[in-house]
């Protein structure tokens, strides 16, 4: 830390430099990274002094002005708001810098969409990311109904609904179009409940076909071995990624479920793990011995001791916060590249877990329980990979060869 404090900060942020350096050390920043952060603070402090400003005036607009100056001065690093996040977070935590003001919805369309988003989260129990996704999908529909008097939902007809679906289905992939019509039905139900529609129009939304003749894509056992072997278990990131992917190929966890897993969700005595899935719904699953061993190895030898939250899997680089679902997915993609398995998604590992259970003779209903499917029809898609069982159901072709 003494090496870090050799960076001289003058100006209005000088009072906070020592505390910021200590905070960076606590967060797990290396000496080199912490020094860069202090140099950034020094530049910002000099600029504030030159402009006659202090830390209490670090609004988003002022920060944007500083970043313009920094880019113009030829700096190649820390030229975006993200680079200033550690410093601003520290100053805001002290109550010195102002907290960012939440954006206020502008215009009748955005106001309606914000009400719809709140409805999804508060009344329907959707997660915030899922609700944002729904809002994004139906935004073009709402924007198309905006008039000088507001959002014209009262004059909406089934033909208008069908016309919108036909228009977007020609521009989107079948999977995205299916999500769009699901979101549109949800929006129309919300508008009916709110009294914006005189009649329920959700039933007027046509379905979008997405016929896939192929089987669910999964990895063969040898490919799973290659994937796991690509993780360097002498390395912190390798131990973490090995534990995550062992859990995914054995239990079929989604990327978001892996990211959300907390230290308190693992019951080592009972050999169980609590998974928070969609909804959110919490369900307990048995913890296989190989999964438990991989996770325990990571927790003992690789998880940063100064992690900032109780997530099991955290970032390797400071600040050591829990991984996001995107971070989990990127780890899978990187491992697939190292193992030369081609483009690989986190969901492919879920398919792999389901296929392995079916091949081991696990009944389809039990596979659905492990995968935490709400509908048996969702699990039934995996029956297509069990060719031996399907052959017993097939009747002989009339007049065919014996």
Closest CA to 133 of 178, 174, 88: 178
The token duo for 318 is 């400071």
Choosing from 254, 315, 348, 351, the catalytic residue is: 254
- Measure the CA–CA gap between 121 and 135, rounded to whole angstroms: 11
117 among known catalytic residues: no
254 among known catalytic residues: yes
Choosing from 115, 278, 321, 338, the catalytic residue is: 278
- Measure the CA–CA gap between 239 and 294, rounded to whole angstroms: 8
- Measure the CA–CA gap between 213 and 210, rounded to whole angstroms: 10
Choosing from 303, 315, 320, 373, the catalytic residue is: 373
Choosing from 35, 233, 350, 372, the catalytic residue is: 350
82 among known catalytic residues: no
192 among known catalytic residues: no
- Measure the CA–CA gap between 336 and 223, rounded to whole angstroms: 9
User: Which residues touch 251 (CB under 8 Å, ≥6 apart)?
Assistant: 273, 275, 285, 288, 291, 353, 370
301 among known catalytic residues: no
382 among known catalytic residues: yes
- Measure the CA–CA gap between 384 and 251, rounded to whole angstroms: 20
Choosing from 46, 79, 189, 347, the catalytic residue is: 347
Full DSSP string of 151-217: E--TT--HHHHHHHHHHHHTTS-HHHHHHHHHHHHHHHHHHHHTTS-SS--GGGSPP------SPPP
The token duo for 326 is 């995107």
- Measure the CA–CA gap between 152 and 68, rounded to whole angstroms: 41
User: Which residues touch 20 (CB under 8 Å, ≥6 apart)?
Assistant: 37, 38, 41, 87, 90
Q: Which positions are annotated as active-site residues?
A: 254, 278, 347, 350, 373, 382
């Amino acid at each position: 830390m003494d090496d870090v404090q050799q960076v001289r900060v003058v100006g209005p942020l000088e009072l906070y430099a020592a505390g910021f350096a200590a905070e960076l050390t606590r967060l797990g920043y290396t000496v080199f990274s912490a020094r860069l952060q202090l140099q950034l603070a020094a530049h910002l402090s000099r600029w504030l002094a030159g402009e006659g400003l202090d830390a209490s005036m670090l609004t988003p607009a002022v920060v944007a002005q500083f970043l313009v100056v920094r880019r113009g001065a030829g700096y190649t690093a820390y030229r975006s708001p993200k680079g200033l996040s550690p410093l601003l977070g520290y100053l805001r935590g002290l109550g010195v810098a102002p907290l960012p003001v939440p954006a206020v919805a502008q215009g009748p369309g955005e106001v309606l969409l914000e009400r719809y988003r709140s409805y999804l989260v508060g009344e329907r129990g959707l997660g915030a990311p899922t609700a944002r996704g729904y809002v994004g999908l139906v935004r073009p529909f709402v924007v198309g109904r905006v008039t000088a008097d507001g959002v014209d939902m009262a004059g909406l007809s089934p033909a208008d609904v069908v016309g919108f679906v036909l228009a977007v289905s020609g521009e989107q992939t079948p999977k995205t179009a299916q999500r769009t019509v699901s979101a549109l039905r949800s929006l129309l139900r919300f508008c009916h409940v709110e009294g914006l529609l005189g009649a329920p129009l959700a039933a007027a939304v046509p379905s979008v076909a997405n016929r896939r003749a192929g089987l669910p894509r999964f990895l063969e056992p040898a490919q799973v071995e290659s994937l796991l072997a690509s993780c360097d278990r002498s390395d912190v990131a390798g131990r973490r990624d090995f534990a995550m992917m062992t859990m995914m190929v054995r239990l079929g966890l989604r990327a978001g479920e892996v990211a959300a897993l907390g230290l308190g969700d693992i019951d080592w005595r009972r050999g169980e793990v609590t998974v928070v899935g969609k909804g959110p719904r919490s369900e307990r699953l048995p913890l296989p011995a190989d999964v438990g061993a991989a996770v325990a190895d990571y927790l003992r030898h690789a998880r940063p001791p100064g992690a900032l939250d109780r997530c099991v899997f955290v970032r390797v680089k400071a600040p050591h916060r829990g991984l996001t679902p995107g971070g989990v997915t990127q780890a899978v993609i990187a491992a697939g590249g190292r193992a030369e398995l081609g483009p690989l998604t986190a969901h492919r590992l879920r398919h792999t877990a389901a296929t392995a259970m079916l091949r081991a003779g696990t009944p389809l209903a039990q596979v659905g329980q492990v995968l935490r499917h709400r509908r048996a029809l969702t699990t039934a898609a995996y029956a297509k990979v069990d060719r031996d069982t399907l052959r017993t159901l097939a009747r002989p072709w009339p007049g065919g060869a014996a």
